[in-house]
Chain A
Amino acid sequence: MRTRFLPAPERRGSALVFSVMSVMVVSILAAGFLQLSMSVTRRLNVYSDTQQAINLAEAGLAEAYSGLAVARTGNVGTMEAPAVLGGGLLWVEAEHHASGLVELECTAMYGTGRATLGLVCEPVGLGVASLGFFTDEDLRLNPDVRLDSYDSKVSTYADQLNTALNNKGSIGSNGDVSVASGNTIMGDIVYGPTGQLSVASGSVITGGSSARPEEEVLPPVVVPDIPLQKAVKYTGGIPMVVPPGQAGYAGLDIGKNSTLILKGPLDLVVNSLILRLGAKLEFDTTNGPVQLFVNESLDFSTSSVVSTSTQVTSDSLIFVAAPEGKSVNFGAKSQFYGFIYAPNADVHISAQYELYGGLVCKELQLAAQGKMHYDLSLGATLSGQLPILHSWRVVELPQQVAARRIDPFQLLGLDPNDLLPPAQSHQDQVLDVRYVDTSGRTTSYFGLESEFDWSQVGSLLYGVRDGIAFYLPEDYALSGDVANDPLVDLVDSSLSSKQLRDALLAASPCSTEALVAACLRDPPMSQSDLKSVLDANDPLAPQTLLSAVTSPSLDSSALKDVLLDNSPLPTEVLDAVLLRNPPLSPSDLTKVLTIQ
Chain B
Amino acid sequence: MRAPHRSARSGWTLVEVVLASTFTVGVFAKAAFVMESALGLASDETASMHYEDQARRVMDRIGLAIMGSDRETLMPQIEELHTNSIRYSFSLGLEDGEVVWSAPEEIRFQNGVGTGAIEWRENPGAAEERRVVWSNLVSPLLEGEEVNGLDDNGNGLIDEDGLSFVLEGNRIVIRLTLRRPEVDGRLVEESVEHVVYCRN
- Within the complex, are A and B direct neighbours (CB within 8 Å)? yes
Interface residues of A (CB under 8 A from B): 26, 29, 33, 36-37, 40, 43-44, 47, 97-99, 101, 103, 118-120, 389-395
Q: What's the nearest-Cβ distance from chain A to residue B198, in Å? A: 9
Contacting residue for B199 out of A26, A33, A47, A392, CB 8 A: A392
Contacting residue for B56 out of A36, A47, A103, A393, CB 8 A: A47
Contacts of A37 in B (CB 8 A): 45-46, 49
Q: What's the nearest-Cβ distance from chain A to residue B77, in Å? A: 20
Contacts of A26 in B (CB 8 A): 35
Closest residue of chain B to A41 (Cβ to Cβ) is B49
The reply to whether A43 and B93 form a contact with Cβ atoms under 8 Å apart is no
Contacting residue for B93 out of A36, A44, A98, A393, CB 8 A: A393
User: In the complex, A44 Cα to B99 Cα: how many Å?
Assistant: 34
The reply to whether B99 and A120 form a contact with Cβ atoms under 8 Å apart is yes
Q: Does B125 contact A (CB under 8 A)?
A: no
The reply to whether A47 and B68 form a contact with Cβ atoms under 8 Å apart is no
The reply to whether A98 and B49 form a contact with Cβ atoms under 8 Å apart is no
User: In the complex, A362 Cα to B50 Cα: how many Å?
Assistant: 65
The reply to whether A120 and B46 form a contact with Cβ atoms under 8 Å apart is no
The reply to whether A47 and B46 form a contact with Cβ atoms under 8 Å apart is no
Interface residues of B (CB under 8 A from A): 35, 39, 42, 45-46, 49-50, 52-53, 56-57, 60, 64, 67-68, 90-94, 97-99, 101, 199-200
User: Please, could you name 15 A-B residue pairs with CB atoms under 8 Å apart, sorted by A?
Assistant: A33-B45, A44-B56, A97-B97, A99-B97, A99-B98, A101-B94, A103-B93, A120-B99, A390-B99, A391-B91, A392-B68, A392-B199, A393-B93, A394-B68, A395-B93
Contacts of A103 in B (CB 8 A): 93-94
The reply to whether A391 and B200 form a contact with Cβ atoms under 8 Å apart is yes
Contacts of B91 in A (CB 8 A): 120, 391-393
Contacts of B98 in A (CB 8 A): 99
User: In the complex, A97 Cα to B42 Cα: how many Å?
Assistant: 57
Contacts of A389 in B (CB 8 A): 200
Contacts of B45 in A (CB 8 A): 33, 37
User: In the complex, A391 Cα to B93 Cα: how many Å?
Assistant: 7
Closest residue of chain B to A39 (Cβ to Cβ) is B53
Q: What's the nearest-Cβ distance from chain B to residue A96, in Å? A: 11
User: In the complex, A583 Cα to B45 Cα: how many Å?
Assistant: 92
Nearest 10 interchain pairs by C-beta: A391-B91, A392-B199, A99-B97, A393-B91, A40-B53, A391-B99, A33-B42, A393-B68, A40-B49, A390-B99
Contacting residue for B92 out of A33, A36, A40, A393, CB 8 A: A393
User: In the complex, A223 Cα to B56 Cα: how many Å?
Assistant: 52
The reply to whether B93 and A40 form a contact with Cβ atoms under 8 Å apart is no
On whether A394 and B64 interact (CB within 8 A), knowing A36-B46, A36-B50, A37-B46, the answer reads yes
Contacts of A391 in B (CB 8 A): 91, 93, 99, 101, 200
The reply to whether A393 and B42 form a contact with Cβ atoms under 8 Å apart is no
On whether A29 and B42 interact (CB within 8 A), knowing A392-B68, A392-B199, A393-B90, the answer reads yes
User: In the complex, A583 Cα to B61 Cα: how many Å?
Assistant: 82
Q: What's the nearest-Cβ distance from chain A to residue B113, in Å? A: 28
Q: What's the nearest-Cβ distance from chain A to residue B69, in Å? A: 10
The reply to whether B50 and A40 form a contact with Cβ atoms under 8 Å apart is yes
The reply to whether A29 and B39 form a contact with Cβ atoms under 8 Å apart is yes
Contacts of A40 in B (CB 8 A): 49-50, 52-53
User: In the complex, A119 Cα to B70 Cα: how many Å?
Assistant: 13
User: In the complex, A43 Cα to B53 Cα: how many Å?
Assistant: 8
The reply to whether B46 and A33 form a contact with Cβ atoms under 8 Å apart is yes
Contacts of B39 in A (CB 8 A): 29
Q: What's the nearest-Cβ distance from chain A to residue B134, in Å? A: 16
Contacts of B101 in A (CB 8 A): 391
Contacts of A392 in B (CB 8 A): 68, 91, 199-200
Closest residue of chain B to A393 (Cβ to Cβ) is B91
The reply to whether B97 and A36 form a contact with Cβ atoms under 8 Å apart is no
Contacts of B199 in A (CB 8 A): 119, 392
Contacts of A43 in B (CB 8 A): 53, 57
Q: What's the nearest-Cβ distance from chain B to residue A288, in Å? A: 27
Closest residue of chain A to B39 (Cβ to Cβ) is A29
User: In the complex, A142 Cα to B87 Cα: how many Å?
Assistant: 64
User: Which residue among B92, B97, B199 has the maximum number of chain A CB atoms within 10 Å of its CB?
Assistant: B199
Closest residue of chain A to B92 (Cβ to Cβ) is A393
On whether A101 and B93 interact (CB within 8 A), knowing A37-B49, A44-B53, A392-B199, the answer reads no
User: In the complex, A33 Cα to B41 Cα: how many Å?
Assistant: 11
User: In the complex, A43 Cα to B92 Cα: how many Å?
Assistant: 27
Closest residue of chain A to B41 (Cβ to Cβ) is A33
Closest residue of chain B to A22 (Cβ to Cβ) is B31
Q: What's the nearest-Cβ distance from chain A to residue B75, in Å? A: 19
User: In the complex, A494 Cα to B50 Cα: how many Å?
Assistant: 68
User: In the complex, A393 Cα to B90 Cα: how many Å?
Assistant: 7
User: Which residue among B45, B60, B94 has the maximum number of chain A CB atoms within 10 Å of its CB?
Assistant: B94
User: In the complex, A118 Cα to B200 Cα: how many Å?
Assistant: 12
Q: What's the nearest-Cβ distance from chain A to residue B181, in Å? A: 19
Contacts of B60 in A (CB 8 A): 47
Contacts of A98 in B (CB 8 A): 97
User: In the complex, A390 Cα to B39 Cα: how many Å?
Assistant: 55
Closest residue of chain B to A105 (Cβ to Cβ) is B93
The reply to whether A36 and B200 form a contact with Cβ atoms under 8 Å apart is no
User: In the complex, A40 Cα to B190 Cα: how many Å?
Assistant: 15
The reply to whether B200 and A101 form a contact with Cβ atoms under 8 Å apart is no
Closest residue of chain B to A119 (Cβ to Cβ) is B199
Q: What's the nearest-Cβ distance from chain A to residue B174, in Å? A: 15
Known interface pairs A47-B60, A99-B97; 10 further A-B residue pairs with C-beta atoms within 8 A, sorted by A's residue number: A37-B45, A40-B52, A47-B56, A120-B91, A120-B94, A389-B200, A391-B93, A392-B200, A393-B91, A393-B92
User: Which residue among A97, A120, A395 has the maximum number of chain B CB atoms within 10 Å of its CB?
Assistant: A120
Closest residue of chain B to A32 (Cβ to Cβ) is B46
User: In the complex, A103 Cα to B94 Cα: how many Å?
Assistant: 8
Contacts of A390 in B (CB 8 A): 99
Q: What's the nearest-Cβ distance from chain A to residue B35, in Å? A: 8
Contacts of B90 in A (CB 8 A): 393
User: In the complex, A43 Cα to B101 Cα: how many Å?
Assistant: 31
Q: What's the nearest-Cβ distance from chain B to residue A273, in Å? A: 28
Contacts of B56 in A (CB 8 A): 44, 47
User: In the complex, A36 Cα to B67 Cα: how many Å?
Assistant: 30
User: Which residue among A47, A98, A389, A391 has the maximum number of chain B CB atoms within 10 Å of its CB?
Assistant: A391
Contacting residue for A101 out of B35, B49, B57, B97, CB 8 A: B97
Q: What's the nearest-Cβ distance from chain B to residue A102, in Å? A: 10
User: In the complex, A392 Cα to B93 Cα: how many Å?
Assistant: 8
Closest residue of chain B to A395 (Cβ to Cβ) is B93
The reply to whether B93 and A118 form a contact with Cβ atoms under 8 Å apart is yes
Q: What's the nearest-Cβ distance from chain A to residue B3, in Å? A: 12
Contacts of B50 in A (CB 8 A): 36, 40
User: In the complex, A243 Cα to B144 Cα: how many Å?
Assistant: 74
User: In the complex, A409 Cα to B118 Cα: how many Å?
Assistant: 39
Closest residue of chain A to B199 (Cβ to Cβ) is A392
